């Protein structure tokens, strides 16, 4: 299981991240200041670090200098939106930078990208009767391979990585198509309908009124 260290001094934000990561099948450890995080890093090995910039004891930029030799990928979390702060974090070796407040689905998508870059992501997902091999981008149902288009596969992976989470059509479109959602577009609905039939998710991939869709986990 992927083990993520969350270094965030605001407990409500830390709790939200921990709960969201747990639902997405990640193992999560939380630290609330830089010194505590440094102590944890001396004793444990992590696959990814989510690191706030403004921390008590040791700030995120200082801690980053300690992390660099460990070769653990880092995503900075911060309320600062100034360009110079983003640039400083990236120059120190961070893989990504996300500004608070953020949507959980966006954070999970960024985590997935970084883990895949480092080949640390879980290679096989099993959910609701499907086996998803993320390395080969192949999907099986009851032992039979399911033929999906690239868009259908990306849509499937988004739902599989975010079970039980209601996602807006706009969010789905932006993450799967990589573009801003065109007002009135039916692309998401049409692709969800085809995906449901292909993978047998007619019951568990549910429409959420005035929002979008949510994947319920069976069994």
For position 34, what pLDDT does the model report? 93
Q: Please compute the mean of the pLDDT values over residues 33-58 and round it to a whole number.
A: 92
pLDDT at residue 89, as a whole number? 80
pTM for this predicted structure? 0.65
Decide: residue 172, CB within 10 A, 0-12 exposed, 13-18 middle, 19+ buried: buried
Report the distance separating Cα 158 and Cα 108, nearest Å: 9
Residues in Cβ contact with 214 at an 8 Å cutoff, skipping those fewer than 6 apart:
164, 165, 166, 167, 205, 206, 208
pLDDT at 128: 93
Report whether 27 contacts 38 (CB < 8 A): no
What confidence score (pLDDT) does residue 33 get? 94
Whole-number Å distance between alpha carbons of 29 and 186: 40
Question: Structurally, what CATH architecture does the domain formed by 3-117 represent?
Answer: 3-Layer(aba) Sandwich (3.40)
Residues 46-73: tens digit of each pLDDT: 999 999 988 998 998 999 988 988 889 9
State the average pLDDT over residues 184-203. 95
Mean pLDDT of the chain, nearest integer: 88
**Which CATH code is given to the segment(s) 124-215?**
1.10.10.10
pLDDT one-digit tens code per residue, 99-116: 888 888 888 888 888 887
Render pLDDT for 115-142 as a digit per residue (tens, 0 to 9).
Answer: 878 776 656 788 999 999 887 889 999 9
Contact 100, 13 (CB under 8 A): yes
Give Cβ neighbours of residue 205 (< 8 Å, ≥ 6 apart): 159, 192, 195, 196, 213, 214, 215, 216
Assign 155 a pLDDT band (cuts: 50, 70, 90).
very high
Comma-separated ranges of CATH 1.10.10.10 domains in the chain? 124-215
Q: Which residue has the tokens 């660099």?
A: 68
Which ranges in the chain are annotated with CATH 3.40.50.2300? 3-117
């Amino acid at each position: 299981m992927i083990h993520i260290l969350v270094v965030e001094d605001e407990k409500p934000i830390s709790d939200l991240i921990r709960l969201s990561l747990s639902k997405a099948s990640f193992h999560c450890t939380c630290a609330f200041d830089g010194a505590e995080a440094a102590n944890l890093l001396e004793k444990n090995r992590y696959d990814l670090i989510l690191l706030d910039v403004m921390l008590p004891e040791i700030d995120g930029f200082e801690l980053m200098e300690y992390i660099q030799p460990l070769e653990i990928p880092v995503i900075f979390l911060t309320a600062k939106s100034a360009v110079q702060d983003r640039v400083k974090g990236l120059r120190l070796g961070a893989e990504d930078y996300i500004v608070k407040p953020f949507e959980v689905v966006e954070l999970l998508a960024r985590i997935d990208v970084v883990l895949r870059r480092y080949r640390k992501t879980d290679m096989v997902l099993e959910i609701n009767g499907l086996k998803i091999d993320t390395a080969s981008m192949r999907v099986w149902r009851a032992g039979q391979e399911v033929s999906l288009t690239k868009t259908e596969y990306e849509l499937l992976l988004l739902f599989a990585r975010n079970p039980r989470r209601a996602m807006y059509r706009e969010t789905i479109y932006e993450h799967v198509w990589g573009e801003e959602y065109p007002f009135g577009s039916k692309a998401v609905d049409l692709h969800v309908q085809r995906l449901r039939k292909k993978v047998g998710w007619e019951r568990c991939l549910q429409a959420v009124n005035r929002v979008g869709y949510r994947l319920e986990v069976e069994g």
